Structure 1
Amino acid sequence: MTITQINQPNYTAYQPYMLLDFEFSFQNDVLKDDLSITILEVLRRIDLSKFIDFHHLDSRSYDPVMMLTVILMAFAEDGYASLRKLEKLCRYDVRYRSITNGFIPSYKSFERFINNTLKESIETIAKEIYLYVQDEKALEEQILYIDGTKFEANANKMTFCWRGWSKRYLPRHWQKCMELLRQVNRYFKKHEIDIHYSILKYPNIEYMIKIDEALENWLKEKEHIRKGRGKHEIAKLCDELKKSAVKMWQYAIQEDILGERNSFSKTDPDATFMHMKYDYYNHTNVFKPGYNVQIGVNNGYIAYQYISSDANDMRTLQPFTEGYKELYGQYPKMEVTDAGYGSYENYSYCKSKGIKGILKYSGYEKKKEKVTDKNRYQLRHMERMEDGTPVCPAGHVFEKERIGVNLQGQYPKMTVYYRNKNCCGCAQRNKCTTSKNGRSARIVPALEKMHTEIDEYLKSEEGKMLMRKRSAQAEGAFADIKQDFEYVRLHRRGESGVKVELILVCIGYNLRKYHNRKKVKNMN
């Protein structure tokens, strides 16, 4: 048996101070390849006075450059850092204490700095850091590899509010209000009182408020508010009207919050319920509140990020590109995306802005499948005439019925409607269609031409190389953020707070990537 014995007679476990004094020097004691050295180097080369107003800062506040350095270093090192963790790092980590000169800002100080000073300029700071760490050749090429993913919002799971609720229950409450008004009118008519309220067909909350005020005034004037003798009949009807009017007002507010969406979370109204790839509640693909995050990566660095409440990636491409142009002053020369972004609107938009859009469409992989007896009756696998008219597998040519032009979108779209009138006596009809009038088809010639151009380009060596780079860079960035640093759920609420948080995460990713590349370069 080994006996451990302390031979110092004056030793006590509750020593109030260290027996040995030491001094910490940031230049001498921190490794030269430490991440903090790289972050200090980047921030020294950026003129932060263009983004932070040093003249109108509170004299009691901490140095904003010091606060920004601490925040960016924590996000670059850990992927994400909470306000409490920032305070803890400044208290116990000697590198952070050296940066803060011994000061220990509280979590409230970091919160005030982010909300009051950093929120307005964080996007331009991210741009300056990106321009500094990026390679000049990549900046000239301006190729954006775009990808999107969904992050779960900081909202409870069972706080959903659907548009269908307001559509269903708002008319019901209005019908109830009108029935109550009919009862009020019948009472006044029975007692020969010269008051009559109109019955409106469509909901009008202002109208109900006026009626409620008028009935309240009438009850006070006639002194029908009886205490201890039961409620007046009109008072009872007035209470029912108030309840229905309040419900209608709540549903009207919900419709204002929804906008063009179909759902939102009561905890975070800016979040939309979306399908997530993994559900840790019961391992099923259920709806959860979240945000759709799009990033554009160039040479491994995130050039721009866009946060949207729209679950569809297809509708995010145009606002993403416009935001990039507003930040950098020009459109990218090329955008490379995966399936889900290719649409007539997006192809036309890229063409009008002078952008070479390599946008895969949703049926690209299905189109490359081998033609079999099961899929040969799909329109994408049918042969075409020289003018684009489809030919069914039985050899019957479709006939053109009409041409329609859709003007609802930003760009007019012409659609040709076809119908096959030879289906009645065809032996393959049961496999091809169930329509009594013959197989129908809708074709957008301009869109098919765009799809053909994309198919030919992606078959080339350049197209294959771009798609490989997109998969490695754009999807790799999300893999690093979500898998390696386990940042899968947002911590702030509201679109503005989420935007600041994600931009800080992207800045940390860029600084970490720049540091690793610089480290490898120095080793070689």
Structure 2
Amino acid sequence: MRFVYEDSIPDDAISRTVKEVIETINPLKYFDLSHRNSHGYDSVNMLQCVLLAFGYVSLRKLASLCRYDIRFQFIMDGQTPSHMAFHRFIHDDLKMPIEEIFYDLNRYFEKNDTIDADILYIDSTKFEDNANKMTFVWMKATKKFREKRWIRIMDRLESLNRYCKKEELPYRFSILKEFSFEYLAEITDTLDRIMRSKHIEEQHGRGHAFTLEQTKESVKGRYPRTIQFYHNEHCEGCPLRSQCTRSKHRRTLQRTDKLAEMQIEIRENLMTETRQELLKQRSIQAEGIFGQIKQDQEYDRLWRRKKTMVKLELLLVSIGHNLRKYHTHKMQKQKTNQKSHS
């Protein structure tokens, strides 16, 4: 007796939405099956499984889901492809670039859902790289810098202890050998109390003026720009030089007038209420999506390596997120229609 998966999946399951979307957009144009024999897995079902996994799982995990998850069993009709079968499908059978599939699905969502495509919100986020096991590129440099910085902090605390003793203040700071974020926060709070008790205000001086040294035309990057180089002539003999710069000669800085003008223009553009509302919506729309992907779906580390494979993975994650959002809106509309008819 053959098990019927159709009867085991509820009507509001996301696997039904995935089948509906993929079968509507004519997925056969995505595949190159010239090298396949007649005994291979159905490519449409394989694509649906890959998209249903939202890109958040490895190929081995995807193969396991086809064995034990009823949603994937429903799509594959009980078949259990191996992780190598999914690997061959992604690398050999998908002849159309993943970007084209992404665009086709987005056009389907715009046609069948209420989406405002007039405004584009742009944001960025960071994902952990899939580096070799037990390696971290900047680990040694980070530890070395932290240790040196901690020694300098403890030296300052010793000077502060002498100051508190001289002024008869009831504060003494312990000199620790190991780095501690909690202790740094405690030091900051204590210093704030000392400054308030002594009526000490924070002062931000302008320092010495910089002198224009030279102007260069730079063609590096995407756009050419004019860079102005300034230097400070008052570094020689300055008692704060070691805290201001590590240069052997003098303090320098760079300035690009075009970039400064653009920053001023951006600040002026954001002064209107309409554009402030757009900025507010950007934080909701763009940053909220990254929160859902990284926190809710626990996807904060890449599974694949190389630029092309990372691009493939991130586009699969984006397609999966859009499918999930479309499914949620679709279920909400159905519930609204049912309430209006009842």
Give TM class, smaller chain.
0.5 to 0.7
**Cα deviation, residue 417, structure 1:** 5.3
Check 1:113–1:415 CA distance in 2 against 1; reply closer, same or farther (3 A cut). Answer: closer
Q: Distance between the aligned counterparts of 1:403 and 1:131, measured in 2?
A: 48
Q: Distance between the aligned counterparts of 2:73 and 2:240, measured in 1?
A: 77
Report if aligned partners of 1:154, 1:489 keep a CA contact under 8 Å in 2: no
What is the match of residue 24 of structure 1?
Answer: 4
Q: Distance between the aligned counterparts of 2:222 and 2:335, measured in 1?
A: 53
Check 1:496–1:442 CA distance in 2 against 1; reply closer, same or farther (3 A cut). Answer: closer
Check 1:519–1:416 CA distance in 2 against 1; reply closer, same or farther (3 A cut). Answer: same
Q: Does residue 456 of structure 1 match 2:268?
A: yes
Q: Render the CA deviation track for 1:173-228: whole Å, top value 9, x for unaligned.
A: xxxxxxxxxxxxxxxxxxxxxxxxxxxxxxxxxxxxxxxxxxxxxxxxxxxxxxxx
Residue identity in the other structure for 2:58: S
Report if aligned partners of 1:154, 1:491 keep a CA contact under 8 Å in 2: no
Q: Distance between the aligned counterparts of 1:481 and 1:444, measured in 2?
A: 37
What is the match of residue 481 of structure 1?
Answer: 293
Report if aligned partners of 2:45, 2:76 keep a CA contact under 8 Å in 1: yes
**Cα deviation, residue 401, structure 1:** 5.7
SS in 2 for 1:113: helix
Q: How does 1:198-237 map to 2 (within 5 A)?
A: none
Q: Does residue 377 of structure 1 match 2:206?
A: yes
What is the match of residue 230 of structure 1?
Answer: none
Q: Does residue 81 of structure 1 match 2:57?
A: yes
Report if aligned partners of 2:218, 2:225 keep a CA contact under 8 Å in 1: yes
Check 1:445–1:87 CA distance in 2 against 1; reply closer, same or farther (3 A cut). Answer: closer
Report if aligned partners of 2:56, 2:299 keep a CA contact under 8 Å in 1: yes
Select which of 474, 493, 501 maps to 2:313.
501
What is the match of residue 518 of structure 1?
Answer: 330
Q: Distance between the aligned counterparts of 1:81 and 1:419, measured in 2?
A: 53
Report if aligned partners of 2:293, 2:321 keep a CA contact under 8 Å in 1: yes
**Cα deviation, residue 509, structure 1:** 1.3
Check 1:50–1:418 CA distance in 2 against 1; reply closer, same or farther (3 A cut). Answer: same
Check 1:399–1:107 CA distance in 2 against 1; reply closer, same or farther (3 A cut). Answer: closer
**Cα deviation, residue 484, structure 1:** 1.2
SS in 2 for 1:58: coil
SS in 2 for 1:414: strand
Check 1:453–1:32 CA distance in 2 against 1; reply closer, same or farther (3 A cut). Answer: same
| Count of matched residue pairs | 272
Q: Render the CA deviation track for 1:362-386: whole Å, top value 9, x for unaligned.
A: xxxxxxxxxx9633427xxxxxxxx
Q: Distance between the aligned counterparts of 2:43 and 2:129, measured in 1?
A: 31
What is the match of residue 20 of structure 2?
Answer: 41
Residue identity in the other structure for 2:277: M
Report if aligned partners of 1:40, 1:69 keep a CA contact under 8 Å in 2: yes
Check 1:105–1:460 CA distance in 2 against 1; reply closer, same or farther (3 A cut). Answer: same
Report if aligned partners of 2:30, 2:95 keep a CA contact under 8 Å in 1: no
Higher relative contact order (CA closer than 8 Å, sequence separation 6+):
2
What is the match of residue 322 of structure 1?
Answer: none
Task: Give the structure-1-normalised TM-score.
Answer: 0.44
| Structure 1, unaligned runs of 5 or more | 1-20, 161-272, 286-371, 379-391
Q: Distance between the aligned counterparts of 1:68 and 1:489, measured in 2?
A: 23
Q: Distance between the aligned counterparts of 1:481 and 1:147, measured in 2?
A: 13
More helix by share: 2
Q: How does 1:395-434 map to 2 (within 5 A)?
A: 402-416=214-228
Task: Give the structure-2-normalised TM-score.
Answer: 0.65
Report sequence identity in percent.
36
Report if aligned partners of 1:90, 1:105 keep a CA contact under 8 Å in 2: yes
Residue identity in the other structure for 1:125: I
Residue identity in the other structure for 1:147: S
Report if aligned partners of 2:9, 2:74 keep a CA contact under 8 Å in 1: no
What is the match of residue 127 of structure 2?
Answer: 150
Q: Distance between the aligned counterparts of 1:54 and 1:508, measured in 2?
A: 24
Rg bigger for which structure? Answer: 1
| Structure 2, unaligned runs of 5 or more | 147-200, 337-342
Report if aligned partners of 2:15, 2:75 keep a CA contact under 8 Å in 1: no
What is the match of residue 490 of structure 1?
Answer: 302
Check 1:102–1:430 CA distance in 2 against 1; reply closer, same or farther (3 A cut). Answer: closer
Q: Distance between the aligned counterparts of 1:438 and 1:107, measured in 2?
A: 60
Report if aligned partners of 2:32, 2:94 keep a CA contact under 8 Å in 1: no
Check 1:404–1:512 CA distance in 2 against 1; reply closer, same or farther (3 A cut). Answer: same
**Cα deviation, residue 38, structure 1:** 1.0
Q: Distance between the aligned counterparts of 1:491 and 1:442, measured in 2?
A: 39
Q: Distance between the aligned counterparts of 1:459 and 1:405, measured in 2?
A: 32
Q: Distance between the aligned counterparts of 1:439 and 1:109, measured in 2?
A: 60
What is the match of residue 91 of structure 2?
Answer: 115
